Structure 1
Amino acid sequence: MPSSHRRKLRLLAPLAVAALMGTALSVAGPSPTVRAAAVPSTIPLTFTNNSGRGEQVYVYNLGTELSTGRQGWADANGTFHPWPAGGSTPVPAPDASITGPAAGASMTIRLPKFSGRIYFSYGQKLVFKLATGGLVQPAVQNPSDPNRNILFNWSEYTLNDSGLWINSTQVDMFSAPYAVGVKRPDGSVASTGRLKPGGYRGFFAALRGQPGGWANLVQTRPDGTVLRALAPGHGIEAGALPANVMNDYINRVWTKYATSTLTVTPFANQPSVKYYGRVSGNVMNFTNGSGALVTSFQKPDSDSVFGCYKLLDAPNDQVRGPISRTLCAGYNRSTLLTNPNQPDTSSAGFYKDVVTNHYSRKIHAQMVDGKAYGFAFDDVGAHESLVHDGDPRQAYVTLDPFD
């Protein structure tokens, strides 16, 4: 998992918090590497509207310019425009929208070497503001967010000298359906993010049928239009999902590893690197092969599990971060009780416990290729909806039908 992609769930904090964060937009690929540039300064992205909807679509390309680290936006030609200074009270950002194609049509824009998001909205332009810390992005778990009643979604990407990484994401919410793709030098296209026929409505029907408060994640407009389902961490934040929804599973994990050992092998290409976890009181301690303590985790709460942060923080290091991301995947997929050797990378055993991340479970069930970003570390075991090529010729975002 690219390091800054790990934090993307928290980038959509409530408006006031986001205004203070000043965090760069999340990355869908690794940090730039220093090597001879094989990738041109911009590549084409074909944006196709197969949604079947009649509303005007607006497109935005927002992020961080990799050569300078400045935040800003790119126009349809791929030209970068830095954001002006914000205020202590957030002020409106310049209109960065690109008029999107009508239903059944396509258009091509240029992607610069950027790390950011491609937003798209139906019927209304999105509201972006600038604070002293940077761009304030939509945070629809906040009922006062000005984008709360707008139908929108986004893709995340990084284009740098090592290629293109582009994904579809549901880490923050499940909303307007779309797929992403990249054309390789041989002309073939790798794509991901496409729902099965009936998958959009099927997901919402399944979520509404899940007991325990999961139906409350669904947000609608006053006219009844379904807009999105919040990810469970945001659902807890908004009071839509019980804050203790994962506690029973967490408690059972804690009990099990008080008397047995959890073995974590975080790097698939380094099978000899192992860490061993045992619970003592309110702490899970991890030791290396020599028995030396390397890191410890306090007993997490449900929000820490869903967000892969707070008590399951994952710094960009080679020990705590890799262990944490493994634990996060095991909790969300409910594999920690069934397999003491983690990560468990076979999807056959995922989400089998009655206490699990049902939001992520139901998204994966509706995907054509079974891949999604249902939580921040859904890439553990390569179950994420991401495509990459080191020499990309073209990128694609396709708005799909709402069934």
Structure 2
Amino acid sequence: MLAALDIGLGTTLAGTGSQAQAAVPSTIPPTISNNSGRGDQVYVYNIGTLLSTGQQGWADANGTFHAWPAGGNPPTDAPDASIAGPASGQTMTLQMPKFSGRVYFSYGQKLVFKLTTGGLVQPAVQNPSDPNRNILFNWTEYTLNDSGLWINSTQVDMFSAPYAVGVKAGDGSVKNTGHLEPGGYNGFFSALRGQPGGWANLIQTRSDGTVLRALAPGHDIEAGALPANVLDDYINRVWQKYSTSTLTVTPFGDQPNTKYYGRVSGNVLNFTNTSGAVVTTFQKPDADNIFGCYKLLDGPNDLVRGPISRTCAQASTAATLLPNPTQPDTSSSGFHADVVTNHYARKIHAQMAGGMAYAFAFDDVGNHESLVHDGDPQPAYITLDPCN
């Protein structure tokens, strides 16, 4: 099966911020550098939602937008939106329109995209029958709007072919993020293989032994490759602690007086505001709820429940809820110190340059994400790094 694609601003990419210092042009040029050292043909795709109209579609190399045609049920083949990418050691420049979208890249084979009556669908490689299962590929997420460019290096769904992103500001400075430490690619997979408890099952390989990716743990719980109770011990200890003490959540960095106070009663975590009124409650979550920040720990796009949920999901993933009753924890020094934690996220952060990564949906809580932004963007950069 293929999974429905939602490429709005999403959970991993903020599309709001300070106003642009100058008018943002209708397109900006991203330079794609192929430093992978691989001899395979690279294919590039720029797909997303056109912000001016809300239409889903793709952009060609010149930045011209093409709306997707109507899909079907069963899904029909999408038009070939691929752009021939640069050979190893070469670069190419595209034009990036005002999109909220993704730039995919694949090695050796074109990706398979389908269209349903609800729009585009994307690879769902947690399914062994997905047609993209044996292709080495990855993507970056971005939003380009009148307030500037946000572009990230994401591992929210999987850790795969490495790359970094960057943007040149109007003052000439360049911001980069997403590179691995030397040896970080193989180091990550070696560390994951050595982690007991089913974590090695996250790794997907081709029949010839080629390592393709490690799926994020939420996908592996869904597929049965990782035990659903993998965080139960930690969650039980959190529930016990906050039945007799208070968890304080200050979800907005620019609103230090907006605080919520959590206490556990039975199977429910109740949050009150500074006046003592209950503002939201959460049933005791499991690992799947935490990794996805959904179901019992859903994070709606509001100003109360969503911000509290995202903060708690991040603190649970990083295992800081027990040692620190004041959240979010903006220091990464205590992340993943507990033996029960999201080892996928722990090992990614350990291998990323500067420790910055988007290893789960709300890794941006506390500003630990691999994201660059500028309100006056000039060229952008996507660098395909080697798998070693």
TM bucket normalised to smaller: over 0.9
User: Where does residue 382 of structure 2 map in the other structure?
Assistant: 397
Residue 30 of structure 2 aligns to a residue in which SS? strand
Q: 1:30 offset after TM fit, Å?
A: 1.7
Code of the residue aligned with 1:118 in structure 2: it is: V
Residue 369 of structure 1 aligns to a residue in which SS? helix
User: Where does residue 341 of structure 2 map in the other structure?
Assistant: 356
Pick from 250, 265, 271 the counterpart of residue 280 of structure 1.
265
Code of the residue aligned with 1:382 in structure 2: it is: N
Query: Residues of 1 paired with 2:267 and 2:291: CA distance?
Result: 19
2:76 aligned with 1:91, yes or no? yes
User: Where does residue 332 of structure 2 map in the other structure?
Assistant: 347
**Any conservation in 2 of the 1:29–1:164 contact (CA below 8 Å)?**
no
The ranges of structure 1 where at least 4 consecutive aligned residues each deviate by more than 6 angstroms after the TM superposition are: 32-37
| Deviation per residue, 1:313-350 (Å, 9 max, x gap) | 11111111110111011100000000111111110010
Q: 1:24 offset after TM fit, Å?
A: 3.9
User: Where does residue 67 of structure 1 map in the other structure?
Assistant: 52
2:187 aligned with 1:207, yes or no? no
Code of the residue aligned with 1:391 in structure 2: it is: D
Aligned pairs for 1:24-39 within 5 A: 24-27=7-10, 28-30=13-15, 38-39=23-24
User: Where does residue 142 of structure 1 map in the other structure?
Assistant: 127
| Deviation per residue, 1:212-238 (Å, 9 max, x gap) | 000000000011000000000001111
User: Where does residue 42 of structure 2 map in the other structure?
Assistant: 57
Query: Residues of 1 paired with 2:170 and 2:334: CA distance?
Result: 36
Pick from 176, 183, 191 the counterpart of residue 191 of structure 1.
176
Q: 1:185 offset after TM fit, Å?
A: 1.2
Pick from 242, 267, 287 the counterpart of residue 302 of structure 1.
287
Query: Residues of 2 paired with 1:366 and 1:32: CA distance?
Result: 29
Query: Residues of 1 paired with 2:44 and 2:354: CA distance?
Result: 26
**Any conservation in 1 of the 2:293–2:310 contact (CA below 8 Å)?**
yes
Pick from 84, 104, 113 the counterpart of residue 119 of structure 1.
104
Query: Residues of 2 paired with 1:91 and 1:288: CA distance?
Result: 50
Pick from 250, 265, 284 the counterpart of residue 265 of structure 1.
250
Distance 1:31 1:269, change over 3 A: closer
Aligned pairs for 1:364-375 within 5 A: 364-375=349-360
Pick from 27, 42, 48 the counterpart of residue 27 of structure 2.
42
Unpaired segments ≥5 residues, structure 1? 1-13
Distance 1:33 1:361, change over 3 A: closer
User: Where does residue 113 of structure 2 map in the other structure?
Assistant: 128
**Any conservation in 2 of the 1:332–1:356 contact (CA below 8 Å)?**
yes
Query: Residues of 2 paired with 1:341 and 1:185: CA distance?
Result: 38
Normalising by structure 2, report the TM-score: 0.97
Residue 170 of structure 1 aligns to a residue in which SS? coil
Code of the residue aligned with 1:229 in structure 2: it is: A
Query: Residues of 2 paired with 1:347 and 1:29: CA distance?
Result: 21
Q: Aligned pairs, how many?
A: 386
Q: 1:31 offset after TM fit, Å?
A: 5.0
User: Where does residue 385 of structure 1 map in the other structure?
Assistant: 370
| Deviation per residue, 1:74-103 (Å, 9 max, x gap) | 000000000000001100000000000000
Query: Residues of 2 paired with 1:33 and 1:387: CA distance?
Result: 13
Query: Residues of 2 paired with 1:382 and 1:292: CA distance?
Result: 29
Q: 1:37 offset after TM fit, Å?
A: 7.1
**Any conservation in 2 of the 1:25–1:117 contact (CA below 8 Å)?**
no
**Any conservation in 2 of the 1:43–1:111 contact (CA below 8 Å)?**
yes
Query: Residues of 2 paired with 1:50 and 1:225: CA distance?
Result: 19
Code of the residue aligned with 1:68 in structure 2: it is: T
Residue 365 of structure 1 aligns to a residue in which SS? helix
Q: What do you get for the CA RMSD once the two structures are aligned?
A: 1.4
Compare 23-32 and 103-112 and name the one that shifted more.
23-32
Query: Residues of 2 paired with 1:162 and 1:34: CA distance?
Result: 5
2:78 aligned with 1:109, yes or no? no
Unpaired segments ≥5 residues, structure 2? none
Identity fraction in percent: 77
User: Where does residue 277 of structure 2 map in the other structure?
Assistant: 292
Residue 261 of structure 2 aligns to a residue in which SS? strand
Q: 1:35 offset after TM fit, Å?
A: 8.4
Query: Residues of 1 paired with 2:174 and 2:164: CA distance?
Result: 12
Normalising by structure 1, report the TM-score: 0.94
Query: Residues of 2 paired with 1:192 and 1:354: CA distance?
Result: 28
